[in-house]
Amino acid sequence: MYGLILMRGFILVLFYACWSCSAFAQPAKASLPANADITLERVMQAHLAALGDVSKSQSRRVKLRIIGMAPFDIPVTVEAKRPNLLRRDVLVQGQTQVSAYDGKDAWKIDPFLTSGKKAVDLSAEELPAMLEESYFDGILVASQKRGFPLQYAGMEKLDGRRVHVLKVSIPATGESTIYLDADSFLEIKRLQKRPVMGRMTELEVYTSDYRLHDGLMVAYRFEIGTKGSAQRMSIVVDAVENNPAIAASRFQRAANLAN
């Protein structure tokens, strides 16, 4: 049962959880010029300054745990490699679920399904979130590189903190609202609609516990739940590896079918 829930729910909310909120070595103090008009361009410049030189990261491996989805913690390993290769290995009750994208082919192996250990296509429901998550530097950077619609929606207060509100529209998944802390310009909340168990659901993702790791400012905790609900699932990062050697075959269906 938990395997099916995981594939239909977890994949749709983990799209960004491990790395799209990071800043690189010697991160500059992000700020806007004094008395300057607040514009999308200036907010994005400050956000990109907080991220640093993203080109220094070519691959990554993150080990994390999902807490609150099942009566036990669920270990996950996420691997990514430029330009848009992505793989997740999820350990559930001694069985490993795999979902991956090699830049062209998106597939999964789920021993809890009738397909067993055979690699099959990602479902139409799962595919959009996988494609969005494959943007190596996150959707705000991707919006600048790919020309996705992006707009500045003003300043608000979020739990007593001033935040800049951005709205970005990704072709595969629709609009996301992103809240950047007005002091650090790092993402602290995201709001978006996603299909969960066949129903469109508005999800909130809260990002916290930023730590400096190998010159990278990494978020180590994420809280995910439906909008307005006090009940949330947690994602806790246990280990981060920057620029590990990852073979391209790790992301390819044919290579995994041969094993």
Q: Could you report the average pLDDT of every consecutive run of 10 residues in the chain (259 residues)?
A: 38 39 41 71 87 81 91 93 94 92 95 87 88 89 91 95 95 90 92 77 89 75 88 91 95 75
As beta bridge partners, residue 79 has 61, 87
Query: Quick one: pLDDT at residue 18?
Result: 39
Query: Quick one: pLDDT at residue 16?
Result: 38
Query: Quick one: pLDDT at residue 201?
Result: 83
Query: Quick one: pLDDT at residue 56?
Result: 80
Query: Quick one: pLDDT at residue 109?
Result: 94
Query: Quick one: pLDDT at residue 34?
Result: 52
pTM score, two decimals?
0.84
Q: Any idea what the CATH number is for the domain that residue 196 is in?
A: 2.50.20.10
Query: Quick one: pLDDT at residue 215?
Result: 64
Residue 45's H or E segment, with its range, is: helix 40-51
Of the CA atoms within 13 Å of residue 74, those in its CB half-sphere come to 26
Ramachandran sector of residue 147 (left: φ over 0; alpha: ψ -120 to 50; beta: rest): left
Query: Quick one: pLDDT at residue 11?
Result: 37
Only one residue has tokens 């996150």, namely 138
Report how many domains make up the chain: 1
Query: Quick one: pLDDT at residue 12?
Result: 37
Domain of 107 in residue numbering reads as: 2-258
Query: Quick one: pLDDT at residue 17?
Result: 39
Query: Quick one: pLDDT at residue 1?
Result: 36
Longest distance between any two alpha carbons in the chain, whole Å: 61
Ramachandran sector of residue 135 (left: φ over 0; alpha: ψ -120 to 50; beta: rest): beta
Query: Quick one: pLDDT at residue 157?
Result: 96
- The rounded distance, in Å, linking the Cα atoms of 9 and 229 is 16
